Amino acid sequence: MKTSQSLGILALFAQVRTSSTSARSTEVIQTQNALTVSSNVGSPDDSSKNALVNAPGCSGLLSSNNKRIQSSGGTEFAVTCNSDLPEEMGKIWSGNSVSLADCIERCENTTSCTAATFKEQARTNSTNCLLQAVLIGRAINPAPRNGSSLAYKTADTKCSALLAQGGRVQLPERRDYTLQCKTDVIPETALRSTYMGSMNECLIACDTEEGCAAISYRELDQRCTLASADKAVRFVSSNATDVAYLTALDITKPLEKEVTGSWGRTIDFPVIPVAVALLPNSQKLLAWSADYEDDYTITYNNTEQIHSFRRDGHLYTTCHGREGSQYSSLSFLRLLLGATISVLGNMFCPGITLDAMGRMIVSGGSTDKPVSVYDADIGNWTAASPMHIGRGYQSSVLTSNGDVFVLGGSWSGPNVTKYGEIYDTRADTWTELPGCPTAPMQTQDKKGIYRSDNHAWLFGWKDGSIFQAGPSKAMNWFYANGSGSYSPAGLRGDAEDSMCGNAVMYDVGKILTAGGSPSYDNTVGHYAAHLVSLPSAANGSVDVSRAPDMVYPRVQANSVVLPTGEVFVTGGQAFSDIFTDYQAIYYSEMFDPRTKSFRLLDAMQPIPRTYHSVAILLPDGTVFTGGGGLCGPCRWNHLDGSIYEPPYLFKGNEYAKRPFITRTGTDESTTALSFTAGAEVTITVSPPVYSQAGHTFAIVRAGSATHSTDTDQRRVPLRPISQAPNGSDVQYTVQLPSDYGTLPAGWYMLFALDDDVPSLATWIRVALP
């Protein structure tokens, strides 16, 4: 029975191939349920012959060569019968519908909806219509499901748009395909042709078919041609089709690391690195994860259960380092501390700030008032004075005075207004700031205050001021003197609330904001990015402009400023499904401060990094990303991290020659150098022969990251004011900015840049006077 059905379909395809495409439009019919169904063939499906019973709303479409319908509102949907998507993926609504057509119309009427599933066999079920927000053109990967019809908006990212995004078609957990528009495979290599609702489905068909290495896809009628891996595969130009071929085929010049960067190996961690910070004046990264109200076990491999996390009242800290200055070799130096939570508090989902001495001040979290300090000199955590107001998911930032300002954090602690507090790190005292309320900085979150005052984008600025750039669409200045005060700084352009988005100061007073979503959970990620320029004085007017969108929408992503001023945007998901990896974005992108736009980095991330993941710049110019999950006994826990080597480290596929800082300052005996704001710093660079136009320099403040928030990182470019030969080296003099708003105290990585190739960093400390 199946065979005859298949033959019928093949015959049908043959007919279409010979018919002209213009004939198709004449066959558009108006159905009773107000859907326009484009279909070449009217022969109804004989359901009894098929093991899967096609839902009536779908059957006519299934047997046609064109599985597209147009809703009454004119939106085009592709239909896959007997299919669905994981129910929780991007779910925005479910309820009862009378028909597939009705369900589709609801999707059209619902903001962010891109896919509608109608469960024919559960017609009376109150949840037979499911609306989802899925990233079209990438994540549609339906599973067979008897009696369900899946309809989704057809990709508006057609070939040329995909090409602009880097020319790869990304299908998670499948092989990687390179895209070439307006091209067809030659007939000799075609294995077979079929009809698929989207290029992605065509690729999936190829991916699961032995011998298939390339497809050509014709948008016009959804013809999908599978082609063989024959090395002789040659493509011909074509107006109507686009091809995608296994990247490994190497048909065109492969993309080089100089363009894509490169992901290194993945390193196992004894904890989920949900919070990380650089240890000052070292090559070490501290990662921690505290006891959470979950019982779960993790296996590294099938034979052994290595880590078993239970509510044992302990905080787990792990310290990873690199040996010597070899950035390609990462050693796994593990230091596991079992500090008791009863003493220190449970630092899960806290605020983090590196202070002027480089000590890490970790406030609140699962236990809401305790404050812990990690001092690298001691190599352990100590307890500090608790906050007055219990908080979790608040943000925390260092002011120009060297104090730590915290704001918000209703996720944890008592149900009170979480106005600001300021911490004097030397006196170990907290002062309440009722004049710094959260009302002006709240988002309009679906879950209310519990979420709306979370993860503020805080920046210490001049004269003790604190600038709050988001995630609310409103921006504000806060002042921590007296009992506190604030003044509105206007809207962030046309931005929406952008919870769990990113904000990075990539140059003096210049902030890139990107991504986020209107609510913390269950909302679509934004593509939008904005550029926020701070005034040269506190409380001046703030300039905002809209940057071109990111390539992907992202929420729960991380952004890291590089020594060049580029911002590496990595991970996240298209829809905020916290505690899942649904719709994870596997490709990173780079913001270029010169063109003020993003470019896709065509190197696929080895592990999805979504909620509870982190990213941080390392002193060798690479980026660490890790973590994600902490969702209890679930499949999204990632006890690992990876290192990304950005394009600037490569020339072609080889490592670029890096400049080398031989000495910072003039006193050779000084290892840990300390400067005050405005100081002149001499930097000796060797050898100078690589330099085309002389070196430039940048300092990047040591970062700390959790929950897509890093209020510590900041880049300050330094241009030489003089230079002189020093033996075979060149000694440059730079001047640090003269105020602690531009240059908050603490530890900075100093990079020399030779045509944008960074040196390994040397550390300098900016000390308060």
Ligand X SMILES: *[C@@H]1O[C@H](CO)[C@@H](O)[C@H](O)[C@H]1NC(C)=O
Which residues bind to ligand X, rule: CB under 6 A? Answer: 51-53, 102, 105-106, 109, 121-122, 125, 127, 146-147, 237-239, 300-301, 303-304, 306, 337, 339-340, 343, 380-381, 415, 463, 479, 481-482, 485, 487, 539, 666, 726-727, 731
Residue 518 main-chain phi, psi, to 5 deg: -60, -35
| Residue 109, contacted partner among ligand X, Cu ion, none, CB below 5-8 A by kind | ligand X
Q: Is 349 in the site for Cu ion (CB under 5 A)?
A: yes
Toward ligand X, which CB reaches closer, 324 or 727? 727
| Residue 329, contacted partner among Cu ion, ligand X, none, CB below 5-8 A by kind | none
Toward ligand X, which CB reaches closer, 221 or 463? 463
| Residue 6, contacted partner among Cu ion, ligand X, none, CB below 5-8 A by kind | none
Closest-by-Cβ residue to Cu ion is 349
Vertex 731 angle, CA 729 and 733, to 5° = 165
- Name, in order, each residue with C-beta under 8 angstroms of 231's C-beta and a sequence gap of 6 or more: none
Q: Which stretch binds Cu ion (CB under 5 A): 237-245, 348-356, 395-403, 570-578?
A: 348-356
Report the nearest approach of Cu ion to the CB of residue 154 (Å): 36
- Gap between the Cα atoms of 519 and 575, Å rounded: 10
DSSP 554: B
Report the nearest approach of ligand X to the CB of residue 38 (Å): 21
Toward ligand X, which CB reaches closer, 108 or 256? 108
Written in H, E and C, the secondary structure of 176-229 is CEEEECCEEECHHHEEEEEECCCHHHHHHHHHCCCCEEEEEEECCCCEEEEEEC
- Gap between the Cα atoms of 678 and 743, Å rounded: 9
| Residue 332, contacted partner among ligand X, Cu ion, none, CB below 5-8 A by kind | none
Q: Catalytic residue at 648?
A: no
User: Amino acid identity of 379?
Assistant: G
Q: Is 37 in the site for Cu ion (CB under 5 A)?
A: no
Applying CB under 5 A, the site for Cu ion has a residue count of 1
Toward ligand X, which CB reaches closer, 82 or 198? 82
Toward ligand X, which CB reaches closer, 340 or 653? 340
Q: Is 347 in the site for Cu ion (CB under 5 A)?
A: no
Report the nearest approach of ligand X to the CB of residue 386 (Å): 15
Q: Which stretch binds Cu ion (CB under 5 A): 96-104, 311-319, 344-352, 715-723?
A: 344-352
Sheet holding 371-375, edge to edge: 351-354, 360-363, 371-375, 380-384
Toward Cu ion, which CB reaches closer, 465 or 502? 502
Report the nearest approach of ligand X to the CB of residue 31 (Å): 16
Name the nearest CA neighbour of 702 among 357, 264, 334: 357
Q: How many CB atoms lie within 10 A of CB 157?
A: 17
Toward ligand X, which CB reaches closer, 441 or 700? 441
| Residue 161, contacted partner among ligand X, Cu ion, none, CB below 5-8 A by kind | none
- Gap between the Cα atoms of 630 and 612, Å rounded: 7
| Residue 693, contacted partner among ligand X, Cu ion, none, CB below 5-8 A by kind | none
Report the nearest approach of Cu ion to the CB of residue 294 (Å): 12
Whether the CB-CB separation of 708 and 556 falls below 8 Å is answered with yes
Distances (CA, A) of 569 to 261, 316, 608: 13, 28, 13
Report the nearest approach of Cu ion to the CB of residue 365 (Å): 9
Report the nearest approach of Cu ion to the CB of residue 295 (Å): 17
Pull the structure tokens for residue 197.
């609702």
| Residue 127, contacted partner among ligand X, Cu ion, none, CB below 5-8 A by kind | ligand X
Residue 179 main-chain phi, psi, to 5 deg: -105, 140
Toward Cu ion, which CB reaches closer, 337 or 578? 578
Q: Is 62 in the site for Cu ion (CB under 5 A)?
A: no
Report the nearest approach of ligand X to the CB of residue 381 (Å): 6
Catalytic residue among 245, 611, 644, 732: 611
Distances (CA, A) of 115 to 68, 85, 103, 504, 577: 13, 9, 10, 33, 16
Name the nearest CA neighbour of 742 among 479, 477, 467, 400: 400
Name the nearest CA neighbour of 217 among 205, 232, 229: 205
- Gap between the Cα atoms of 413 and 428, Å rounded: 21
Question: Coil, strand or helix: which one is 548?
Answer: coil
Active site residues: 611
